[in-house]
Chains A and B, each alone.
Chain A
Amino acid sequence: MKSLKAQGHLFASSDAQMEVLNKSDHEPFDSKLKDVGLYPFKPTGIDIFQVNLGKMCNQTCKHCHVDAGPDRKEIMTRKTMQQCLDILAVHDIPKVDLTGGAPEMNPNFRWFVEEAAALGKHIMDRCNLTIITANKKYNDLPQFFAKHRVEVISSLPHYTSLRTDSQRGDGVFDRSVKAIRMLNEIGYGIEGTGLELNLVYNPTGAILPGSQETLEADYKRELKRRFGIEFNNLYVITNMPISRFLDYLLVSNNYENYMQKLVEAFNPNAAGKVMCRNTLSIGWDGYIYDCDFNQMLDIKVKSTAQHLSDFDFEGLNSREIEVNQHCYGCTAGPGSSCGGQTS
C-alpha cells in the first residue's frame, strides 16, 4: 500500500481534510469548550516534548494519522535535533516522546536518545515493534532501549492476528509477537525490572474503544495464554478522523455515524485532560504544534514562536490551543491521548 501522498490522493492536503471535517453541521468544538468553561483552551504546562523524527516507516497501516510509509522521505535532520536538545537542556521539560513514522529509521535516532538521556530526560519511544525484526541493524534495539531506560510504547491493535493484520498489514502480528518476545527476554514488560513496555489498543474499524481496564485484562490474559508474552499497561486510544482513517471512514460510508458518535460522546472531564494541555509537538522540520494531530493537519501553534529557532517557553505555555472538529476524537467517552484514556 502506498501513502496518500504517493497516491496523489486529495487527503494528502490538510486543507481537503479540514474541508470535510467542517462540512457537517456538528456543533463546533470550540463552542462545546465554551459550554463547559474551557474556552479559550490553555495549556496547564509543558511536561512532554513530543518529537516527530520523520514520516518514514516500514509499515503502511490503514488508519495512520501521519500518512507514514516507506515512500515518505521527510526526516528530521541532526541540526533540528540539536535545536531540540538545546531547548531541552535549558528548560524543565521532563519527558521526551519520540514518534514518527518509525522514529528508529532516522539515522540519528540513537545519537538523539543518548543525548536526551544524558540530559536526564525520561524518554518514550513509539516503536511499531516490527522495526526491531525488519533488518539486522535494528535487532539490538531492545538492548539499546534498556541501556537508556527508554519507555517503549507500541501499537498492537488486537491480541488476534486477524484484527491486527487487517489494520497494520499481513504478517505484522506475528512479527510484533516476535519483537515483544525479544523485549521480554531482556526484561521489558516484566514486573519489577523497571523496563516499561506499554501496548496501545485502537479499534480496527469505525467504532469507539471500550474500557481500558477490561481490554487490558483481556490482553494480559490472552497474550500470556496464547504466546507467553507480557507487557505493563495497555493504552486505549480512539482513532482520529484525519488522514488515512478519514479516508477509510468516507470510503466505507461510516464517516457521518462515526463523527456523530464522537460528538455525542463528548466528555467535559476528558476535555480538561487532553494531551495538548501539557505537550508540545515538534514536526520533522522544526515547526511547533499543539499535538501530533494538529501537526498532520498543518495547524501550527498560535504563537510568535512557531519554529524551534524562535522557541519561547513562556509564550508557548500561555498560548491558546488551536482546536477544530477532529478534537472530538480526544474527548469522546473516557477520552484519548498518547497515554491512553484520560478519565
Chain B
Amino acid sequence: METYYKPEDLKKFGNIGEFQKKLADKFFDYYGEVFKEGALTGREKALIALGVAHAIQCPYCIDAYTSDTLEKGCTEEQLMEAVHVAGAIRGGASLVHGVQMMNQTKKIMM
C-alpha cells in the first residue's frame, strides 16, 4: 500500500546528501555533536528528543528515540512522562493563547 511515511525510509536518512552533500554533511556533523554527552547526559538528551518528536509528531523520530531511550535504560514510565511533557507544552501553548482571545473579546465587546 502506498503511504506517505515508510518505516524503511528512516534508514535512508543519510541519503539526503545525494542531492546536497555539503549541507547534509554539516547537518549530520552538528547532529552528532548535539547528542554527545555534555552538560546533559546522553539519556537526558534522548528523552528531550523523544518529547520533541511527539510535539512535532515525526513518526521517524518517535521510532528512533523510543528505541534509543529504552536502550539507554529508561523505563516505560519515563518515556510516557516525556510524552506528557510534550503534551503539556503543546496544550499549554494553545491554552495560553486563551489570554489573547480574552483580551480581544474584552476589546471588542461591551
A203-B43 contact, Cβ under 8 Å, with A160-B75, A162-B76:
no
Chain B proximity mask over A121-154: 1 for CB below 8 Å, otherwise 0: 0000000000000000000000000000000000
Least CB distance from B50 to A in Å reads 14
Interface residues of B in 72-86 (CB under 8 A from A): 72-73, 75-76
Q: A40 to B21, alpha carbons, bound, how many Å?
A: 38
Q: Is the CB of B71 within 8 A of A210?
A: yes
Q: Is the CB of A218 within 8 A of B71?
A: no
User: Which of A160, A207, A210, A218 neighbours the largest number of chain B CB atoms within 10 Å of its CB?
Assistant: A210
The residues of A that contact B70 with a CB separation of less than 8 Å are 203, 205, 207
Q: A160 to B76, alpha carbons, bound, how many Å?
A: 10
Closest residue of B by beta carbon distance from A214: B73
The residues of B that contact A218 with a CB separation of less than 8 Å are 73
- The B interface, classified by DSSP as helix, strand, loop or mixed, is helix
- Residue B15 lies at the interface, judged by CB distance under 8 Å to chain A: no
A203-B76 contact, Cβ under 8 Å, with A214-B43, A260-B11:
no
The residues of A that contact B75 with a CB separation of less than 8 Å are 160, 163
Interface size class of B (residues with CB under 8 A): 10 to 19
Q: A211 to B43, alpha carbons, bound, how many Å?
A: 10
Closest residue of B by beta carbon distance from A159: B75
- Residue A215 lies at the interface, judged by CB distance under 8 Å to chain B: yes
Q: Is the CB of B43 within 8 A of A207?
A: no
- When the two chains form the complex, which single residue of A162, A163, A209, A260 contacts B71, counting CB atoms closer than 8 Å? A209
- Residue A208 lies at the interface, judged by CB distance under 8 Å to chain B: yes
Interface residues of A in 210-228 (CB under 8 A from B): 210-211, 214-215, 218
Closest residue of A by beta carbon distance from B74: A210
The residues of B that contact A163 with a CB separation of less than 8 Å are 75
Interface residues of A in 190-243 (CB under 8 A from B): 203, 205, 207-211, 214-215, 218
A-B pairs, 4 with minimum CB distance? A210-B72, A210-B73, A207-B71, A210-B71
9 interchain pairs, CB-CB under 8 A: A160-B75, A203-B71, A208-B71, A210-B72, A210-B73, A214-B43, A215-B73, A218-B73, A260-B11
List B residues at the A interface (Cβ < 8 Å).
11, 41, 43, 67, 70-73, 75-76
Known A207-B67, A210-B71; 19 more pairs at CB < 8 Å: A160-B75, A162-B76, A163-B75, A203-B70, A205-B70, A207-B70, A207-B71, A208-B71, A209-B71, A210-B43, A210-B72, A211-B72, A211-B73, A214-B41, A214-B43, A214-B72, A214-B73, A215-B73, A218-B73
